[in-house]
Amino acid sequence: MIRKIRHESPGEYLSGLFNITPEFKRFNARNDIFNRAVWDDRVNAKDFFRSYDIANYKPKASKGFDHWDYAFRNASWHLTDQIGERHAREDGKVEGFTNYYTLNAPGSPTKVVIDDPVEATHRIKLAARMFGAGNCGICEVDDRWLYTHTFNRKTGGNPEMDLPKHLKYAILLIIPMDHRLSKTYPTALSGASTGLGYTTGLSCAVSLAQFITNLGFEAVASMNDTALNIPMAIAAGLGEYGRHGLLITPQFGPNIRITKVFTDLPLVADQPIEFGVKTFCEECQLCASACPARAIPSGKPQAEPPSISSLSGITKYTVDADKCFKFWVGMNSDCAICIRVCPYNKDFSKWWHHLALSWSRWRWVRRILLFMEKKLQFGAKLSSASWWAGH
Ligand code: SF4
Ligand code: SF4
C-alpha cells in the first residue's frame, strides 16, 4: 500500500525524516568522490577512468570482464560521454556530471499560455514517459539539495553554483535499468546497465528540457550535477530512502537512475510517499552483508558522515563513498551488488511482487519475504555467460 504524506510540506517531511540540524551544510561538488579523483591523492582512479576508453581496457580472468563485456559497457556510455564532454576540452565542464546540460537550440520566443497548471503537469509527465522515463514527479526546488559549488575537472576550479534562482520547480525522472542485466553486477558487463540508464536519462532530460523551452519557458536538464537527486526524488513522491543510500521506488525498486529538469513552467508539486521501506530496512541488512567493501552501515542511521564525500548535519544511512569507490577502482567497473540483492529489486508490474509489496506493511509478511529472499536467493548473481546466452 502506498501512502501519500499530505500533512506537511515535502521540505518539512525531509527535515523530520533525516533529522536535519542547524549544522547541516549544503554539498560542495568538489567533494564528490569522482571529482576528488582529480585533486585528492587518496582517490587514485586513473586506471578505472582509462578503462572506459576501449583502447585501454584490461581483460580479467574472471567472467564478465572480457573484450565483449568492456566493448558493450563502453558503447552504452558512448553518447553520455560524447554529449557530456563536448565542451570539456575548452571549458573543463563535464555536462551531466559537473555541470548541467547546455541546450542545443533556442526555444520559442513566445510563451504558451498556462491556464491550468494541473493540465500542464499532466502533459509534462506524459511527455517525460514518452522520452523514456519510467516515472516522473515534481517538487519545488529546495535550496538545501543544491550544490554550493560546481567543480571544474580541467582547472580544479570550484566556482559557485550558477543555477538561475527563478527555476522554481524540478521535474524528477526515474529511468529504470534493465533488470536482467543488473543481475550481473558486479562485472564490466553489468556496467552496461548503468551506462544504458545514463544514456536514456540524458536523452529523457535533454528532450524534456527542449520541449519546455519550445513552449517558451526556461528549462535546464541535469543528471548527477547541480543538486542531489535522491532527496529531491523523495520530495517529488517517487520513492523512499534505503539503507544502501539509494532511492527505492514502488515500480522498479532501487534498479533505477535519476535525472531531472529545472524549470520556471508553473507546475503542481507532488507529495512524498511511504510504502514500508523504512521499517523493512530496519529489519533487513542484506545490502550491508553483501557489500564487499563493507561500505553500507549495518546499524542505525548515523549522524556522523563517514567521509568528506557525505553530507553533515543530517542523520541517515550513509554509504562510505571512499570504501565503495575503492572497490570500483580495484575492479575497473562500477558495482551495484547492493541493488542486486535488495528485496525491493523486483519487477513490480508482476502481480505477485506487487501483492508482496502491498502486504509488506505487516511484520509477519516481511519476515516471510526476507526468509524466502535468503532461501531462494532471488538476489543471486547471473553469470555473464547466461546473460549473453539470451533471454
Ligand atoms: S556499490 Fe558495491 S561497494 Fe558500493 S556500497 Fe553498493 S555493494 Fe558496496
Ligand atoms: S537490501 Fe534490505 S536493508 Fe538494504 S536497502 Fe534493500 S531492503 Fe533496505
Q: State whether the beta carbon of 38 lies less than 6 angstroms from ligand 1.
A: no
Q: State whether the beta carbon of 342 lies less than 6 angstroms from ligand 1.
A: no
Whether the pLDDT of residue 7 is over 80: the answer is no
Tell which atom from ligand 2 comes closest to the C-alpha of 246. 5
| pLDDT on residue 361 | 84
| pLDDT on residue 347 | 87
User: In the structure grid, which three cell numbers stand for residue 236, read together?
Assistant: 517529488
Can you tell me the distance from the alpha carbon of 120 to that of 237, in angstroms, rounded to the nearest whole number?
Answer: 18
Can you tell me the distance from the alpha carbon of 218 to that of 207, in angstroms, rounded to the nearest whole number?
Answer: 13
238 Cβ partners below 8 Å, 6+ apart?
135, 137, 172, 174, 247, 249, 258, 270, 273
Tell me whether strands 219-222 and 169-176 are parallel, antiparallel or unpaired.
unpaired
Contact 302/317 with Cβ under 8 angstroms? yes
| pLDDT on residue 6 | 62
Q: Model confidence over 185-224: pLDDT tens digits?
A: 999 999 999 999 999 999 999 999 999 999 999 999 999 9
Question: 377: CA distance to ligand 2 center in Å?
Answer: 14
Measure CA 368 to chain center.
29
| pLDDT on residue 1 | 65
Can you tell me the distance from the alpha carbon of 38 to that of 49, in angstroms, rounded to the nearest whole number?
Answer: 11
| pLDDT on residue 38 | 95
Selected residue with higher pLDDT from 235 and 362: 235
Nearest CA to ligand 2 atom 7: 281
Which residue bears the cell 547541480? 226
Q: Model confidence over 155-169: pLDDT tens digits?
A: 999 999 999 999 999
Whether the pLDDT of residue 138 is over 90: the answer is yes
Nearest CA to ligand 2 atom 2: 284
Please compute the mean of the pLDDT values over residues 331-360 and round it to a whole number. 93
The amino acid at residue 310 is S
| pLDDT on residue 212 | 98
Q: For the chain, where are the E strands, in sequence order?
A: 3-4, 135-140, 169-176, 219-222, 240-241, 247-248, 256-263, 273-274
Q: Name the CA radius of gyration of the chain, rounded.
A: 20
Residues in contact with ligand 2 (CB, 6 Å cut-off): 242-244, 280-281, 284-287, 341-344
| pLDDT on residue 2 | 72
Q: State whether the beta carbon of 133 lies less than 6 angstroms from ligand 1.
A: no
Question: 286: CA distance to ligand 2 center in Å?
Answer: 6
The amino acid at residue 345 is N
Question: 324: CA distance to ligand 2 center in Å?
Answer: 16
Please compute the mean of the pLDDT values over residues 102-126 and round it to a whole number. 94
| pLDDT on residue 98 | 97
Q: Which ligand is nearest to the CA of 346?
A: 2
| pLDDT on residue 69 | 97
Can you tell me the distance from the alpha carbon of 33 to that of 51, in angstroms, rounded to the nearest whole number?
Answer: 18
Q: Which ligand is nearest to the CA of 326?
A: 1
Q: Which ligand is nearest to the CA of 379?
A: 2
* Pocket test residue of 285, 289, 378 for ligand 2, highest count of atoms within 8 A of CB: 285
Question: 241: CA distance to ligand 2 center in Å?
Answer: 10
Whether the pLDDT of residue 355 is over 80: the answer is yes
Q: State whether the beta carbon of 306 lies less than 6 angstroms from ligand 1.
A: no
CA angle 223, 274, 290 (to 5 degrees): 65
Can you tell me the distance from the alpha carbon of 93 to that of 100, in angstroms, rounded to the nearest whole number?
Answer: 9
| pLDDT on residue 139 | 98
**SS3 breakdown of the chain: % helix, strand, coil, rounded to 5?**
40, 10, 50
377 burial (CB, 10 Å; 0-12 / 13-18 / 19+) is exposed
| pLDDT on residue 391 | 61
Q: State whether the beta carbon of 388 lies less than 6 angstroms from ligand 1.
A: no
Q: Which ligand is nearest to the CA of 336?
A: 1
Contact 159/327 with Cβ under 8 angstroms? no
* Pocket test residue of 291, 310, 317, 342 for ligand 1, highest count of atoms within 8 A of CB: 291
Nearest CA to ligand 2 atom 4: 287
Whether the pLDDT of residue 4 is over 80: the answer is no
Contact 241/230 with Cβ under 8 angstroms? yes
Can you tell me the distance from the alpha carbon of 273 to that of 250, in angstroms, rounded to the nearest whole number?
Answer: 10
Tell which atom from ligand 2 comes closest to the C-alpha of 345. 6
Q: Which ligand is nearest to the CA of 242?
A: 2
pLDDT band at 23 (very low <50, low <70, confident <90, very high): very high
Q: Model confidence over 45-95: pLDDT tens digits?
A: 999 999 999 999 988 888 999 999 999 999 999 999 999 999 999 999 999
| pLDDT on residue 41 | 95
Question: 387: CA distance to ligand 1 center in Å?
Answer: 21
Can you tell me the distance from the alpha carbon of 346 to that of 342, in angstroms, rounded to the nearest whole number?
Answer: 9
Whether the pLDDT of residue 250 is over 70: the answer is yes
Question: 316: CA distance to ligand 2 center in Å?
Answer: 14
Contact 52/44 with Cβ under 8 angstroms? no
| pLDDT on residue 103 | 86
Contact 111/215 with Cβ under 8 angstroms? yes
Question: 324: CA distance to ligand 1 center in Å?
Answer: 5
Q: Where are the domains of the chain?
A: 3-388
Question: 183: CA distance to ligand 1 center in Å?
Answer: 14
pLDDT band at 324 (very low <50, low <70, confident <90, very high): very high
Tell which atom from ligand 1 comes closest to the C-alpha of 339. 6
The amino acid at residue 147 is Y
The H or E element that residue 369 is part of is: helix 363-376
